[in-house]
Amino acid sequence: MEKWFIKNKKGDFSKIARAFGVSEKLVQLAVNRNVKSASELKEYLYPDTHMLLEPNKMKDSVLAVDILKKKIEQRKSIRIIGDYDVDGVMAAYLLKVGLSRVGAVVDYEIPDRIKDGYGINIDIVEAASSDNIDTIITCDNGIAAYDQIQRAKELGMTVIITDHHEVPYEEQEDGKRIYKVPPADAVVNPKQWDCSYLFKKLCGAAVVFKLLELLWKEYFIALNELEELLPFVAIATVCDVMDLEGENRVLVSQGLKKLPFSKNYGIQALIEVNQLKERKLSAYHMGFILGPCINASGRLESAKISLKMFLAEDYERAMQSAKKLKLLNEERKELTSLGVKQAYSVVEEQYESDSVLVVFLPDCHESIAGIIAGRVREKYNKPAIILTRAEQGVKGSGRSIEAYSMFEKLNECRELLTKFGGHPMAAGLSLPEENISLLRAKLNQNSSLTEDDLIRKVSFDMELPFNEISPKFIREMELLEPFGKGNGKPTFVLRNVEIINGRLIGKDNSMLRLSVKTKSSSNLYSAMLFQGLDRFEEIVGEKYGKNAMEQILKGNAKNILLDLVFYPDVNEYNGKETVQIIIQHFR
Judging by DSSP bridges, how do beta strands 77-81 and 135-139 pair with one another?
parallel
Between CA 330 and CA 323 the distance in angstroms is: 11
- Count of positions (residues) in the chain: 587
pLDDT tens digits along 488-523: 999 999 999 999 999 999 988 999 999 999 988 889
Task: Report which of 123, 136, 141, 126 is spatially closest to residue 185, judged by C-alpha positions.
Answer: 136
Domains of the chain, earliest start first: 55-221 (3.90.1640.30), 352-454 (3.10.310.30), 457-586 (2.40.50.460)
Kindly tell me if the per-residue pLDDT of 540 is higher than 90. yes
Kindly tell me if the per-residue pLDDT of 117 is higher than 90. no
Kindly tell me if the per-residue pLDDT of 171 is higher than 90. no
pLDDT tens digits along 27-66: 999 999 999 889 999 999 999 999 999 999 999 999 999 9
Between CA 189 and CA 60 the distance in angstroms is: 8
Residue 526 burial (C-beta neighbours within 10 Å; 0-12, 13-18, 19+): middle
Judging by DSSP bridges, how do beta strands 561-573 and 419-422 pair with one another?
unpaired
Check if the beta carbon of residue 158 is closer than 8 Å to that of residue 185: yes
- What per-residue confidence (pLDDT) applies to 520? 83
Check if the beta carbon of residue 234 is closer than 8 Å to that of residue 91: no
Residue 338 burial (C-beta neighbours within 10 Å; 0-12, 13-18, 19+): middle
Mean of pLDDT values over 380-402: 95
- What per-residue confidence (pLDDT) applies to 392? 86
pLDDT tens digits along 467-487: 999 999 999 999 999 999 999
- φ, ψ of residue 411 to 5 degrees: the values are -60, -35
Between CA 416 and CA 561 the distance in angstroms is: 51
pLDDT tens digits along 356-389: 999 999 999 989 999 999 999 999 999 999 999 9
Determine the 3-state secondary structure of 135 from DSSP: strand
- What per-residue confidence (pLDDT) applies to 135? 98
- What per-residue confidence (pLDDT) applies to 174? 86
Mean of pLDDT values over 567-572: 92
pLDDT tens digits along 202-259: 999 999 999 999 999 999 999 999 999 999 999 999 999 999 999 999 999 999 999 9
Kindly tell me if the per-residue pLDDT of 115 is higher than 90. no
Strands (E), 266-410: 357-360, 384-389, 394-399
Kindly tell me if the per-residue pLDDT of 4 is higher than 90. yes
Kindly tell me if the per-residue pLDDT of 172 is higher than 90. no
Kindly tell me if the per-residue pLDDT of 454 is higher than 90. yes
What percentage of residues in the chain have a pLDDT greater than 90? Answer: 91
- Neighbouring CB atoms inside 10 A of 313's CB total 7
Mean of pLDDT values over 192-206: 97
- What per-residue confidence (pLDDT) applies to 482? 97
Q: Would you place residue 12 in the very low, low, confident or very high pLDDT band (cuts 50, 70, 90)?
A: confident
Check if the beta carbon of residue 492 is closer than 8 Å to that of residue 462: yes
Check if the beta carbon of residue 106 is closer than 8 Å to that of residue 169: no
Check if the beta carbon of residue 360 is closer than 8 Å to that of residue 310: no
- What per-residue confidence (pLDDT) applies to 36? 87
Between CA 411 and CA 384 the distance in angstroms is: 16
Judging by DSSP bridges, how do beta strands 384-389 and 419-422 pair with one another?
unpaired
pLDDT tens digits along 403-415: 999 999 999 999 9
pLDDT tens digits along 318-353: 999 999 999 999 999 999 999 999 999 999 999 999
Check if the beta carbon of residue 233 is closer than 8 Å to that of residue 251: yes
- What per-residue confidence (pLDDT) applies to 305? 98
Between CA 354 and CA 31 the distance in angstroms is: 37
Report the range of poorest mean pLDDT among 338-347, 432-441, 575-584: 575-584
Alpha helix (H) ranges present in 347-452? Answer: 369-380, 406-411, 436-445
Average model confidence (pLDDT) for the chain?
95
Task: Report which of 94, 64, 69 is spatially closest to residue 82, judged by C-alpha positions.
Answer: 94
HSE-up of residue 316 (Cα within 13 Å, Cβ side): 0
What percentage of residues in the chain have a pLDDT greater than 70? Answer: 100
Between CA 492 and CA 210 the distance in angstroms is: 38
Q: What is the secondary structure of 161-191 as a DSSP string?
A: EE--SPPPEEE-TTS-EEE-----SEEE-TT
- Neighbouring CB atoms inside 10 A of 173's CB total 5
Kindly tell me if the per-residue pLDDT of 288 is higher than 90. yes
Determine the 3-state secondary structure of 35 from DSSP: coil
Between CA 343 and CA 88 the distance in angstroms is: 28
Task: Report which of 56, 60, 27, 23 is spatially closest to residue 42, judged by C-alpha positions.
Answer: 27
| Cα dihedral 30, 31, 36, 37 in deg (nearest 10) | 60
Kindly tell me if the per-residue pLDDT of 573 is higher than 90. no
- What per-residue confidence (pLDDT) applies to 422? 86
- What per-residue confidence (pLDDT) applies to 507? 85
Determine the 3-state secondary structure of 514 from DSSP: strand
- What per-residue confidence (pLDDT) applies to 1? 81
Radius of gyration of the chain (CA): 25
Per-residue CA distances from 49 to 94, 253, 439 (Å): 18, 10, 45
| Cα dihedral 529, 286, 481, 581 in deg (nearest 10) | -10
Per-residue CA distances from 141 to 89, 208, 215, 239, 473 (Å): 11, 12, 20, 16, 43
Task: Report which of 14, 91, 579 is spatially closest to residue 306, judged by C-alpha positions.
Answer: 91
Between CA 389 and CA 361 the distance in angstroms is: 7
